[in-house]
Amino acid sequence: MVFQLAQVVPWGRSFADYVGMFGLTDEDLGRSVLDCAGGPASFNATMHRQGQRVISCDPIYQFSAEEIAQRIDETCPTIVAGLHENHDWFVWSEAIPTPEALGECRLAAMGEFLADFPQGAIEGRYLVAELPSLPFADRAFELAISSHLLFTYTAQLSLEFHQAAIAELLRVADEVRIFPLLTNFTTERSPYVQPAIDALTAQGFRVEIVPTVYEFQRGGNELLRVWRDRLG
């Protein structure tokens, strides 16, 4: 299937958001990290500036910074309007009191991504690749993180896709972290979470659901961690 920018709603979070979503410690940040479905998040830009090792992959990286920026401009007002319509599904705070404030935060993060993307692509830090098949060697990374794709898009992606995608992330990394566990536009855990955990556990992988300090989608305060080394 051809990946079309017109069907994508690019929306990227900041380095601080990533630290909160994935419970990243200083030790984690020192590992070689794959951000799968990194989109227009500024995690890679900040990691690189801090001298850390990171590669982000996403089908959106086949487009230019200008094309992605244009799509962000087109879709941002729709997202902010959607946040107003579904105000109670989100956790508003002093730091982010309104949908407009959230829009500003996300635009700042995406601006950082857009500034870094052209040079980062030349350096091979942003690669065009999509689940469930990644162009990396077995155990190429110590940690793979993925946010707001798996479980989020339960309505669009099958359980089989989720299982194949998690297996692929476990092939390329020693540990996988996925956030959040909610189906998009709900406050409910995705119905795929338990079957995915059951299958991984049956295969002998160590799996944990860990609470996060980060919560913007109400109820979105859990992280799935899976370790490649099998139990026993």
Q: Which is nearer to ligand SAM, 24 or 36 (CB)?
A: 36
Q: Which of residues 9-28 bind ligand SAM (CB under 6 A)?
A: 10-13
Comparing CB distances to ligand SAM, the nearer of 14 and 207 is 14
Stretch touching ligand SAM by CB under 6 A, among 79-87, 146-154, 185-193, 204-212: 146-154
**Taking CB positions, which residue lies at the least distance from ligand SAM?**
39
Judged by CB under 6 A, which of 23, 48, 52, 59 binds ligand SAM? Answer: 59
Report residue 44: phi and psi, to 5°: -60, -45
Report, in Å, the least distance between residue 149 CB and ligand SAM: 4
AA identity, residue 119: Q
Beta bridge partners of 177: 145, 225
Instruction: In whole angstroms, give the CA distance from residue 187 to residue 184.
Output: 8
Choose which of 34, 60, 80, 83 interacts with ligand SAM (CB under 6 A).
Answer: 60
Q: Which two tokens stand for residue 43?
A: 């995690």
Q: Fill in the per-residue mask, 169 to 208: x = in contact with ligand SAM (CB under 6 A), - = not in contact.
A: ----------------------------------------
| Residue 166, H or E segment | helix 159-172
Q: How many CA atoms lie within 13 A of 85 on its CB side?
A: 7
Q: Using CB under 6 A, which of 130, 168, 175, 222 touches ligand SAM? A: 130
Residue type, position 25, single letter: T
User: Does 223 contact ligand SAM by CB under 6 A?
Assistant: no
Residue 125 near ligand SAM by CB under 6 A: no
Long-range contacts of 152-157 (CB under 8 A, 24+ apart): 152/180, 152/182, 152/183, 152/184, 152/190, 153/184, 154/183, 154/184, 154/190, 154/191, 154/192, 155/183, 155/184
41 binds ligand SAM (CB under 6 A): yes
What is the contact surface with ligand SAM in residues (CB under 6 A)?
8, 10-13, 36-39, 41, 58-60, 130-131, 147-149
